[in-house]
């Protein structure tokens, strides 16, 4: 049985929105990015939405199947985010702009759904789609 790793926000206003205008520089510090978000930024955004809100989402899950789906989705997005971070020199031109725009839209839907978690099932479906899109943008595994 999974135990949440930290105390969850007690009010909806404490939901973390994973600010899209912030990125990390080479030292890992957050900086503002004046340019258009890259596919890496969108994948990071997906990851942060799930990571920073995991405990709240877990509390909203009504069944063990929903809790497992949330945990599996979170694991998949964490792996995808890690995989993208392993790239030494990302080739932004090799990523389709339609896929990036689809992921950006899914991230916007996730953010909006986080503000009103009345239907955790809807959130889980959107999150699964966002992670699927993120994984499709990530580089192939070296062992693949």
123-136 pLDDT, tens digit each: 999 999 999 999 88
* 108 domain residue, yes or no: yes
* 90 domain residue, yes or no: yes
* 114 domain residue, yes or no: yes
* 78 domain residue, yes or no: yes
9-56: pLDDT as tens digits = 444 444 455 554 444 545 555 444 445 568 889 999 999 999 999 999
Q: Report yes or no on whether pTM surpasses 0.85.
A: no
Q: Which residues span the domain enclosing 103?
A: 37-137
* 66 domain residue, yes or no: yes
CB-count exposure of residue 124 (10 Å: 0-12, 13-18, 19+)? buried
* 144 domain residue, yes or no: no
* 54 domain residue, yes or no: yes
Q: Is the dihedral of CA 51, 110, 96, 21 positive or negative?
A: negative
* CB distance 103 to 83 below 8 Å: no
* 56 domain residue, yes or no: yes
Number of domains the chain contains: 1
């Amino acid at each position: 049985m999974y135990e949440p790793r930290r105390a969850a926000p007690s009010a909806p206003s404490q939901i973390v929105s994973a600010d899209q205008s912030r990125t990390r520089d080479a030292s890992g510090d957050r900086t503002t990015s004046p340019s258009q978000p890259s596919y890496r930024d969108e994948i990071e955004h997906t990851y942060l939405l799930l990571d920073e809100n995991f405990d709240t989402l877990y509390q909203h899950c009504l069944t063990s199947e929903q809790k497992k789906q949330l945990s599996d989705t979170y694991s998949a997005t964490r792996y995808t985010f890690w995989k993208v971070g392993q790239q030494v020199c990302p080739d932004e031109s090799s990523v389709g702009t339609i896929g990036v725009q689809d992921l950006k839209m899914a991230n916007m839907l996730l953010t909006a759904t986080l503000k009103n978690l009345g239907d955790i099932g809807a959130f889980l479906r959107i999150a699964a789609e966002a992670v699927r899109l993120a994984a499709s943008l990530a580089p192939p595994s070296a062992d693949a």
